[in-house]
Amino acid sequence: MSYMPTIHDEEWRYADFDALETVPEAQVTGWSEIAVAPGEVLARSFVLDGATPDVQRLRVTLGEGARAEIFAVNVASAYARLEIEVTLAPKAHFEFGGVLIGGGDVTREFVTRTLHAEPEATSNQTVRAVHWGTASGNYLGRIDVARHAQKTDAAQDFKGLLLEKGASANAKPELEIFADDVKCAHGATVGQLDEMARYYMASRGIAPDVAKHLLIRAFLADALAALEDEAEQERLFDHALAALEQAA
Amino acid sequence: MLKIENLHAEIGGKEILKGLSLELGAGEVHAIMGPNGAGKSTLSYVLGGRPGYEVTAGSVTFKGEDLLAMDPHERAAAGFFLGFQYPVEIPGVSNVQFLREALNSQRRERGEQPLTGGEFLKLAKEKAALLKLDMEMLKRPVNVGFSGGEKKRNEMVQMGILDPMLAVLDETDSGLDIDALKVVGEGINAIMRKPEKAVLLITHYQRLLDYVKPDHVHILAAGRIVKSGGPELALQLEEEGYDEVMAA
Ligand SMILES: Nc1ncnc2c1ncn2[C@@H]1O[C@H](COP(=O)(O)OP(=O)(O)O)[C@@H](O)[C@H]1O
Ligand SMILES: [Mg+2]
């Protein structure tokens, strides 16, 4: 059943295959699986901050009215990939907020696969990527809506911020919708820091590095906004912003 | 306070300021008037150190120091304030956070103690009341969703909090209705009409000068001060227009 991915697999198209070779096969092809009972909530956060290549894969099945609230910060200093697959029962909700941030010559990526198998379920993914050096940040977000999954409400939003010329960001939304009464919103943009905002801050006395820090924190905020546990939110922010200290 | 001598500056290789000289003493208010495209905003940005505005000749001294040698945030800490013709929006950063960071950055740069959260809020409330800006607006992101008039009043709230020695106000009156003009005019007087301070008002209209009475009025055209006089020069401009007054 399991096989090692190749560059021809759509969901692996931006992966770092040299790095991938060093990851144990079981980790690349296996899943850790969680079933969430009807009405229950699964709250999880991930911090990928390793110095060796890493792949983590989580497969979640949500019962009726259950919720998965998953937040992740990928600040790894080697190739790191987090994959999450969620299958939703009626009225279930999947929330994902992810931050990809860092420099070096490193690929950091998130992959989500949201399977709206039943009616009236909702899902929302918000990913922010900030990269410099020759790093790249990737988000592959697939949404499948089954034929009878009417009243599905799915949203996906990716924004990339490139601090230096050599950095890149790739977003690959993929929607397969077979029901007709659904809402599916998605957006993807990639840009640079707003120079005028930086100048405005400087004109009020804020030093350039502090201004940059404030603007990047504001940029990342949407990804962690749905995380209600404020202490946990702050912990994830701290991980993300600590990475920034190494930025040029 | 401020001495500008034979200032030449260009944007993208195009010369905009062509030998501009001007001197402001402590306790003085000067007004600069001039047709659209004359270089008024360019002058304000050059004084504020905006990237891309290149000084090719001349000098600017501020309180005896070389203003042009300072970075924009250092100019602010030295007591220079620029009121923007088009205040900049900064999504995700609240006015309160922005201004507290700005004020405390300036204080640190000058070797003063930073204000506590409570001290800062008290100061912000006082200045917001002076400019009749709802304190709730200061909790919102910087200038986001503010009307033209609110943005200009917010500039003056910022000036009140930062308490500069010299303010260059670029068309602070444009976009204001009659009532707001009065509030802003009185705000400028309250904050800046002091023996140790000075103001350079850039404006198209006489009406702001009814509230903030200038000691000197200059006409800027094609990158130079072409005529200087007392307050009567502004009245004469209002009646006769630039062409006639400049020809005289
Ligand atoms: N970013 C820019 N690049 C090139 N030219 C510019 C730029 N900004 C302003 N200018 C030019 O500089 C001149 C002066 O503009 P400005 O200083 O804004 O005039 P004012 O404020 O007096 O109306 C105008 O001819 C304008 O077209
Ligand atoms: Mg202008």
**Mean pLDDT score of chain A, rounded to an integer?**
95
At A141, the amino acid letter reads: G
Q: How confident is the model at residue A244 (pLDDT cuts 50, 70, 90)?
A: confident
What is the model's pLDDT at position A2? 56
Name the closest residue on chain B to residue A218, using Cα atoms.
B92
Task: Dig out the tokens for A33 from the structure.
Answer: 């699986």
Nearest CA among A139, A59, A142 for reference residue A107: A139
DSSP single-letter state for residue B121:
H
Q: B72-97 burial by CB neighbour count: b if 16+ within 10 A, else e?
A: bbbbbbbbbbbbbbbbbbbbbbbbbb
- The 10 Å Cβ neighbour count of residue A194 is 17
A47 C-alpha to ligand 2 centroid (Å): 48
Give the chain A residue whose CA is nearest to the CA of B144: A197
Answer yes or no: is pLDDT of A131 > 50: yes
Q: Please give the tally of structural domains in chain B.
A: 1
Q: Name the 3-class secondary structure at B32.
A: strand
Q: Encode pLDDT of B211-247 as tens digits.
A: 999 999 999 999 999 999 999 999 888 888 888 888 7
User: Are B71 and A202 in contact, with CB atoms under 8 Å apart?
Assistant: yes
> Please, how many CA atoms are within 13 Å of residue A60, restricted to the half-sphere of its CB?
32
Highest mean pLDDT, choosing among A1-5, A144-148, B204-208: A144-148
Confidence of residue A245 (pLDDT cuts 50, 70, 90): confident
What does the buried/exposed string (b/e) look like for A103-119 if buried means 16 or more CB atoms within 10 Å of the residue's CB? beebbbbbbbbbbbbbb
Q: d(Cα B52, Cα B204) in Å, to the nearest integer?
A: 25
Q: What would the mean pLDDT of B31-58 be, rounded to a whole number?
A: 96
Summarised one tens digit per residue, pLDDT across range B153-206 is 999 999 999 999 999 999 999 889 999 999 999 999 999 999 999 999 999 888
CATH number of the structural domain spanning residue B73: 3.40.50.300
Q: Which residue has the tokens 């190494």?
A: A246
A83-93: b or e for each residue (b if 16 or more CB lie within 10 Å)?
A: bbbbbbbbbbb
Handedness of CA B72, B76, B81, B86 (dihedral sign): positive
pLDDT digits (tens, 9 = 90+) for A107-118: 999 999 999 999
pLDDT higher than 90, residue A193: yes
The fraction of chain B above a pLDDT of 70, given in percent, is 100
Chain B contact probe: residue of A159, A199, A216, A219 with most B CBs at under 10 A: A199
Residue B101 contacts A, CB cutoff 8 Å = yes
Check CB contact under 8 Å for B92 and A221.
yes
Question: B70 and B81 in contact (C-beta within 8 Å)?
Answer: no
Range of the domain at B51: 2-247
Task: Answer whether B215's CB lies under 8 Å from B227's CB.
Answer: no
pLDDT tens, A22-80? 999 999 999 999 999 999 999 999 999 999 999 999 999 999 999 999 999 999 999 99
Q: Are A124 and A92 in contact (CB under 8 A)?
A: no
CB of B41 closer than 6 angstroms to any ligand 1 atom: yes
* Ligand at shortest distance from the CA of B53: 1
Position B60, amino acid: V
d(CA B16, CA B247): 21
pLDDT at B245: 82
Q: What is the pLDDT of residue A10?
A: 87
**Rounded distance, CA B179 to CA B131, Å?**
11
Q: Is B92 near chain A, with CB under 8 Å?
A: yes
Contact A146, A177 (CB under 8 A): no
In the predicted structure, residue A1 carries a pLDDT above the cut 50: no
Listed by number, the residues of chain A in 65-104 with a beta carbon closer than 8 Å to a beta carbon of chain B are none
Main-chain phi, psi angles of B190, to 5 degrees? -65, -40
SS3 percent helix, strand, coil of chain A, rounded to 5, is 20, 45, 35
Q: Are A152 and A178 in contact (CB under 8 A)?
A: no
Mean pLDDT in residue range A177-185: 94
Ligand 1: residue of B20, B41, B86, B172 to mutate (most ligand atoms within 8 A of CB) is B41
pLDDT at residue A248, as a whole number: 55
| B234 CB-contact burial (10 Å; exposed 0-12 / middle 13-18 / buried 19+) | buried
Contacts of B124 (CB under 8 A, 6+ apart): B96, B99, B100, B135, B138, B157, B161
Sheet holding A107-116, edge to edge: A32-36, A54-62, A80-88, A107-116, A136-145, A168-177
* Secondary structure class of A130 (helix, strand, coil): strand
Nearest CA to ligand 1 atom 13: B37
